[in-house]
């Protein structure tokens, strides 16, 4: 190969490399200056290159920022933290992301999220950074915290109100109930039929009110009168619940079975009430055949999910959420007795144990209630 040919090849390669370098510079210019994220290069603590978006966030023109100390825009209270993060990044040679506050040209404080990485710029160590304005997100987070705090405060007040009302009404209602029952006993068949009927209404009404207040008191106590969590053997809990339901189980010839059940962290008394309510519902809402109830538990990591399956009358899927609301009834009192509080109490107990309760059912095909318990004892606030 002649010298001229070799020289031509070198010239062609050189021109190709020049084009590639030019294209790379153009690509960098486009990516850097047109980025929708505030981008910059800091060297010796001062801005060397900045793009339009960074200038917009800080409220300046681009040429106003070049040469200015980067920390001068950081809120005074946050400068030490930002400085420490920068030093740690440079020592570790890795990228870091963190949030802090800046003050723009209009003296407005903004929250930003910064990501930085060490680079070399013009053969000297530098920092390549990106800045995103997260002020709106922070404001939403603060508002969400405020709303959550307000809701927790309202829930606490409602629980205390329910407790006071249900507790303080117990005594006068007990007196009303006692005297109406005394009237029924002493004057039965001594007055006309209308009087007997009216007295019967009063007696039944007082009994229903007592039951309702008892359930309301129980509901309010789930969060305010709960006991500390301890290891609880769920087989023992189910046995206690079945013992409490012994008469009802025998009367309808029900069969309640369960597999091996685990030990969880929880409030034993509340877990007994939870199983008792769900098993009791299976006995109450039964078909003509004998009730069959089966309890199964499945563990996944720190969560145990229980299922309680029955062969009862079932529930229309459109009601699978509303049945857990307070005072919610799907049937008349004449069809099935109760106050509509049982499943609401179950829901509150499950939530206190860090879990969730749901139901899968079809009319006439029985129901399966699912609820989870955090075995690590993560009590829900």
Contacts of 244 (CB under 8 A, 6+ apart): 272, 276
Distance CA 11, CA 9 (A): 5
**Digit-coded pLDDT (tens) for 48-83:** 999 999 999 999 998 899 999 999 999 999 999 888
> So what's the pLDDT on residue 144?
83
- Say yes or no to pLDDT of 352 above 80: yes
- Say yes or no to pLDDT of 37 above 80: yes
> So what's the pLDDT on residue 294?
94
**Digit-coded pLDDT (tens) for 139-164:** 888 888 888 777 777 666 666 666 66
CB 57 within 8 A of CB 104: yes
> So what's the pLDDT on residue 159?
66
Domains and CATH numbers, the chain: 35-133 (3.30.450.20), 137-225 (1.10.287), 227-381 (3.30.565.10)
- Say yes or no to pLDDT of 92 above 80: no
**Digit-coded pLDDT (tens) for 256-283:** 999 889 989 988 888 998 999 999 988 8
> So what's the pLDDT on residue 210?
66
> So what's the pLDDT on residue 376?
66
> So what's the pLDDT on residue 57?
92
Share of the chain above pLDDT 70, in %: 74
| Average pLDDT of span 251-260 | 90
Least confidently predicted of 61-75, 119-133, 219-233:
219-233
CB 49 within 8 A of CB 70: no
Least confidently predicted of 240-249, 300-309, 333-342:
333-342
CB 58 within 8 A of CB 104: yes
> So what's the pLDDT on residue 381?
44
Give SS3 for 119.
strand
Question: Would you give the distance in Å from CA 82 to the centre of its chain?
Answer: 32
- Say yes or no to pLDDT of 345 above 80: yes
């Amino acid at each position: 190969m002649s010298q001229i040919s070799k020289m031509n090849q070198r010239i062609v390669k050189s021109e190709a490399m020049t084009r590639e370098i030019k294209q790379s510079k153009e690509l960098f210019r486009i990516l850097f200056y047109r980025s929708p994220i505030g981008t910059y290069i800091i060297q010796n603590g001062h801005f060397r290159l900045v793009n339009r978006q960074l200038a917009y966030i800080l409220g300046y023109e681009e040429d106003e920022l070049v040469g200015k100390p980067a920390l001068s825009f950081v809120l005074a209270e946050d400068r030490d933290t930002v400085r420490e993060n920068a030093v740690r990044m440079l020592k570790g040679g890795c990228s870091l992301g963190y949030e802090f506050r800046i003050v723009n040209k209009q003296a407005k404080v903004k929250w930003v999220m910064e990501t930085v990485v060490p680079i070399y710029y013009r053969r000297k160590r530098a920092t390549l950074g990106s800045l995103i304005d997260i002020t709106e997100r922070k404001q939403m987070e603060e508002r969400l915290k405020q709303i959550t705090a307000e809701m927790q405060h309202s829930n606490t007040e409602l629980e205390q109100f329910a407790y006071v009302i249900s507790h303080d009404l117990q005594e006068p209602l007990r007196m009303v109930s006692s005297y109406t029952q005394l009237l029924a006993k002493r004057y039965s068949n001594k007055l006309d039929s209308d009087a007997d009927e009216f007295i019967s209404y009063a007696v039944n009404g007082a009994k229903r009110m007592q039951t309702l207040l008892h359930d309301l008191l129980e509901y309010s106590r789930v969060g305010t009168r709960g006991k500390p969590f301890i290891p609880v053997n769920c087989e023992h809990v189910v046995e206690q619940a079945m013992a409490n339901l012994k008469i009802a189980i025998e009367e309808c010839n029900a069969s309640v079975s369960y597999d091996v059940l685990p030990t969880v962290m929880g409030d034993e008394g509340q877990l007994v009430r939870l199983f008792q309510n769900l098993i009791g519902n299976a006995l109450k809402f039964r078909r003509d055949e004998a009730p069959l109830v089966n309890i199964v538990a499945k563990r996944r990591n720190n969560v145990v999910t229980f299922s309680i399956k029955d062969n009862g009358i079932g529930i229309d899927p459109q009601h699978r959420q509303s049945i857990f609301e307070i005072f919610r009834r799907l049937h008349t009192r004449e069809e099935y007795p109760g106050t509509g509080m049982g499943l609401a109490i179950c829901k509150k107990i499950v939530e206190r144990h860090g879990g969730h309760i749901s139901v899968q059912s079809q009319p006439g095909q029985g129901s399966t209630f699912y609820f989870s318990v955090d075995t690590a004892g993560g009590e829900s606030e």
